[in-house]
Chains A and B, each alone.
Chain A
Amino acid sequence: MILPTILVLTFAVAALLYVTRPLLAAPEPRPPIGSDAMSRRLALVEERDRAVAALRELEFDHRTGKLSERDYRELIGPLRHRAVETLRALELGDREG
């Protein structure tokens, strides 16, 4: 009965040290947790990436015959416009700091 008790106590102490170590150690640099401004910027970056991906997808759908020439021409304009708008919004955000 003594050996199991010693083993359990050893594990408990080791776990306690492992859990409390980060609280006692000097804080390490970690990726910053985002502010609201960063969240807005991230949303714009995501939107830009989506717009670029949508353009690529449109191109691929056209090449694989899922989109007619007419549909392709009709859709590519608004998508390009959206991508440009998002880039402008990002740029504007950069200027405003």
Chain B
Amino acid sequence: MLESAVNALVSAFIGTALAAATLVLAFVRHDFSLSYVANHSSRELPLGYTLAALWSGQEGSLLLWLLVLTGVGAAALLLNRRLVVDVLPWTVPILAGIAAFFALIPNVVASPFGTQPAPLNGVGMNASLQNPYMMIHPPVLYLGYVSLAIPFAFAMAALLSRRVDERWIVASRRWTLFSWTFLGIAILIGAKWAYESIGWGGYYAWDPVENAALMPWLAATAFLHSVMVQEKKNMLRVWNVVLIALTFSLTLFGTFLTRSGAINSIHSFSQSSIGGWFLALIVVVASGSALLILTRLDDLRTPTRFESLASREAAFLYNNLLLVAFALTMLWGVAFPLLSEALRGEAVTVGPPYYNFFLKVFGLPLLLLMGIGPLLAWRRASLRSVARAAAWPFLLAVAVGAMLLVAGAGSSPPGVIAYTFATFVTGAIVLEFWRGTRARRDLDGSSWAGAFSSLVARNRRRYGGYISHAAVVLLAIGVVGSSAYGSTVTKTLAPGDSTSAAGYSATYLGTTFERGANHDELRGQFLLSYGGESVGVVAAGKNHYNVEQFFSTAVGIHTDWLRAADVMLIGDQFNPDGSVVLKLAVNPLIGLIWLAGIVFLVGSVVAMWPDAREQRQLARRSFEAHVVPVRAR
């Protein structure tokens, strides 16, 4: 029966893949008798965007949701069928139930296969989506977002079957790491897209839909830390299932935000009637999991307690509290305007100052904890041990903080604090690798390289995690640099006029006009110089999409590797008299944000890499538990 159910989910994946392939084929053949194809593409649309048009609208996005869900669901069941054999009979129906919901919507409420008399041409794709990032951001985001259903299914199945041993937690941890990696990369790709294309000069606007991706990522981050406490000390078992349920509920809430049209966002492309369906699903998932957790409290509780407030596990707990508090604060910021509109009929906006305030309140202690946590021993650490372990990173951080103050960075106190903490974390990470390698070398008698390799191989999750911490440090440096120490000027320039910011000067040379395949390009040409020396000519302007009758901004970016800064030129407005309203922004250290993405990916791959020792241990445990021992005579 179980195998039949697994096969049913595999069949659902193949069926959904065929449906998606059919829709893609209809796009390629310009079959405008399908309303969805006609509303999201045109004959002039380049092939890459034509293929990506599958997920450019509501109906296709829901089909993609279903495709990813059935795909990763089938993969998870096939890959984990031995590890979680006891909970599989409940995992399959939970995944199938979620898949049934996401199959119902495109079949009944918002079908991508609705037909109409075929027009000669389609209305084209939303011009703001006609960007190379469009081809990669949504699928990567969906892989991260949707696959969070897998740990949720394992967790709920473990509770339903009352098999709350460590096996489900191993399977859930692996899949959460997978989802977390894709979601994190997708958020960064989205940020790069916004930075290079949207034309407002930033990369993250605290838009509700951006927050909708960040909230489950934060909750998943909390889980990936607290799960270590459960695996090492058999603690936080209730907390971990709560985190998994919260994470999945947040993904559903995010889907509701994006797909219902309930909010005004750059990501909300349609108004639709599916909001009620999603709200009902969120209520069922949230209340159902809460009820299940409450009825299984006795199975989950353990007598183990924290031995000290200064220990690795305590640091994980503090980190969890901060991460969840930040996620819930964001949730309140996103939900408040919706509630205000629904209950009081008042339109309220929660803007960046709210989120920036809480980013400092929760983010700075989190950054510091990233440095302190790894230096603490499990169980307990005396003050003297902590002081000794943290001495070098502390001294380094204080020295860097003092140098920054001398260099004039004190204009932003949170900036100096963040950089001081970032230095402390970097020092702690380097020290961890150094001390670990030295200890491994003493134990094995191997070379430094061999000891380092053995150190990482023996605990990929820990050292992969440290690499991810390094990525967060780079991210923090980039975010602080560009937001706290950036410069922006906006000025109307006639040809020959100049404007300057942070030592860079842009001189307006004139405009050019070119016809592209499906759009016209109007560009202002600007001579960029630094300290009187020419850097080059940078173009910035507007694109006009003829079929869609839409203007988009084409941002000009010059990356100055020597000074670690981006110079951004945005032609806000081109006037009939030949003048242009130019926004010139200098964003120091912003390149580190994109570098953080690469380092994050490396850390995640190291942490995710299959661990043969763990596999052997799990197999041995299962064997020992299932084999009836031979009695001694």
Quick one: which of A46-61 are within 8 Å of B by CB? Answer: 46-47, 49-50, 53-54, 57-58, 60-61
Known: A31-B85, A67-B385. A38 touches B4 (CB 8 A): no
State whether B381 touches A66 (Cβ < 8 A).
Answer: yes
Known: A42-B625, A45-B621. A58 touches B86 (CB 8 A): no
Known: A18-B10, A58-B379, A66-B375. A23 touches B1 (CB 8 A): yes
Distance A97 CA – B86 CA, assembled complex (angstroms): 22
Residues of A within 8 A of B622 (CB): 31, 42
Distance A22 CA – B385 CA, assembled complex (angstroms): 60
Quick one: which of B434-493 are within 8 Å of A by CB? Answer: 435-436, 438-439, 442-443
Known: A34-B163, A39-B163, A64-B435. A15 touches B11 (CB 8 A): yes
B381, B438, B439, B626: the one contacting A34 at CB < 8 Å is B626
Residues 2-40 of chain A, each 1 if its beta carbon lies under 8 Å from chain B, else 0: 000000000100010011111100000011111000110
Residue B360 CB within 8 A of the other chain? no
A20, A41, A47: the one contacting B4 at CB < 8 Å is A20
Residues of A within 8 A of B89 (CB): 33
13 residue pairs from A and B, CB less than 8 Å apart:
A22-B1, A33-B86, A39-B625, A42-B624, A43-B165, A46-B621, A49-B621, A50-B234, A54-B379, A65-B385, A94-B629, A97-B628, A97-B629
Question: Considering only CB atoms, which chain B residue lies closest to A30 in the complex?
Answer: B85
Residue A85 CB within 8 A of the other chain? no
Residue B301 CB within 8 A of the other chain? no
State whether B234 touches A63 (Cβ < 8 A).
Answer: no
Residues 65-102 of chain B, each 1 if its beta carbon lies under 8 Å from chain A, else 0: 00000000000000000100110010000000000000
State whether B14 touches A57 (Cβ < 8 A).
Answer: no
Question: Considering only CB atoms, which chain A residue lies closest to B22 in the complex?
Answer: A4
Quick one: which of B297-325 are within 8 Å of A by CB? Answer: none
Tell me which of B3, B376, B625 has the highest count of chain A C-beta atoms within 10 A of its own C-beta.
B625
State whether A41 touches B11 (Cβ < 8 A).
Answer: no
A41, A61, A68: the one contacting B624 at CB < 8 Å is A41
State whether B377 touches A15 (Cβ < 8 A).
Answer: no
State whether B232 touches A53 (Cβ < 8 A).
Answer: yes
Question: Considering only CB atoms, which chain A residue lies closest to B3 in the complex?
Answer: A22
B7, B233, B432, B443: the one contacting A19 at CB < 8 Å is B7
Residues of B within 8 A of A94 (CB): 629, 631
Distance A60 CA – B439 CA, assembled complex (angstroms): 7
Distance A83 CA – B405 CA, assembled complex (angstroms): 52
State whether A54 touches B378 (Cβ < 8 A).
Answer: yes
Residues of B within 8 A of A38 (CB): 625-626
B36 to A: closest C-beta gap in Å: 17
Quick one: which of B17-35 are within 8 Å of A by CB? Answer: 18
Residues of A within 8 A of B11 (CB): 15, 18-19
Known: A57-B232, A97-B631. A70 touches B382 (CB 8 A): yes
Residues 613-626 of chain B, each 1 if its beta carbon lies under 8 Å from chain A, else 0: 00001000110111
State whether A75 touches B625 (Cβ < 8 A).
Answer: no
Distance A51 CA – B85 CA, assembled complex (angstroms): 25
| Supplied contacts A71-B380, A94-B631, 7 more A-B pairs, CB within 8 Å | A11-B15, A20-B4, A33-B85, A54-B232, A64-B436, A68-B382, A68-B385
State whether B15 touches A61 (Cβ < 8 A).
Answer: no
Question: Considering only CB atoms, which chain B residue lies closest to A7 in the complex?
Answer: B18
A6 to B: closest C-beta gap in Å: 14
Residues of A within 8 A of B438 (CB): 64
State whether A19 touches B232 (Cβ < 8 A).
Answer: no
Distance A21 CA – B89 CA, assembled complex (angstroms): 18
Distance A13 CA – B1 CA, assembled complex (angstroms): 19
Question: Considering only CB atoms, which chain A residue lies closest to B381 in the complex?
Answer: A66
Residues of A within 8 A of B625 (CB): 34, 38-39, 41-42, 45
* Chain B binding surface, main DSSP class: helix
A57 to B: closest C-beta gap in Å: 5
Residue B389 CB within 8 A of the other chain? yes
Residue B388 CB within 8 A of the other chain? yes
State whether B10 touches A39 (Cβ < 8 A).
Answer: no
Residues of A within 8 A of B232 (CB): 50, 53-54, 57
Question: Considering only CB atoms, which chain B residue lies closest to A69 in the complex?
Answer: B385
Residues of B within 8 A of A93 (CB): 629
Distance A63 CA – B432 CA, assembled complex (angstroms): 12
State whether B380 touches A42 (Cβ < 8 A).
Answer: no
Rank and list the top 10 A-B pairs by shortest CB-CB distance, nearest first: A42-B625, A22-B3, A94-B629, A15-B11, A61-B377, A63-B439, A66-B377, A64-B435, A22-B4, A67-B377
Quick one: which of B78-129 are within 8 Å of A by CB? Answer: 82, 85-86, 89
Residues of B within 8 A of A65 (CB): 385, 388-389, 435
Distance A60 CA – B378 CA, assembled complex (angstroms): 10
Distance A6 CA – B552 CA, assembled complex (angstroms): 45
Distance A21 CA – B8 CA, assembled complex (angstroms): 11
State whether B621 touches A42 (Cβ < 8 A).
Answer: yes
Tell me which of B18, B86, B234, B628 has the highest count of chain A C-beta atoms within 10 A of its own C-beta.
B86
Question: Considering only CB atoms, which chain B residue lies closest to A33 in the complex?
Answer: B86
State whether A71 touches B382 (Cβ < 8 A).
Answer: yes
Residues 61-94 of chain A, each 1 if its beta carbon lies under 8 Å from chain B, else 0: 1011111101100010000000000000000011
B162 to A: closest C-beta gap in Å: 8
Residue B563 CB within 8 A of the other chain? no
State whether B165 touches A22 (Cβ < 8 A).
Answer: no
State whether A66 touches B389 (Cβ < 8 A).
Answer: yes
Residue B632 CB within 8 A of the other chain? yes
Distance A50 CA – B232 CA, assembled complex (angstroms): 6
Residue B166 CB within 8 A of the other chain? yes
State whether A58 touches B378 (Cβ < 8 A).
Answer: yes
Residue B515 CB within 8 A of the other chain? no
Quick one: which of B370-413 are within 8 Å of A by CB? Answer: 375-382, 384-385, 388-389
Residues of A within 8 A of B436 (CB): 60, 64
Residues of B within 8 A of A21 (CB): 4, 7
Question: Considering only CB atoms, which chain A residue lies closest to B385 in the complex?
Answer: A68
Distance A67 CA – B439 CA, assembled complex (angstroms): 13
Distance A11 CA – B626 CA, assembled complex (angstroms): 40
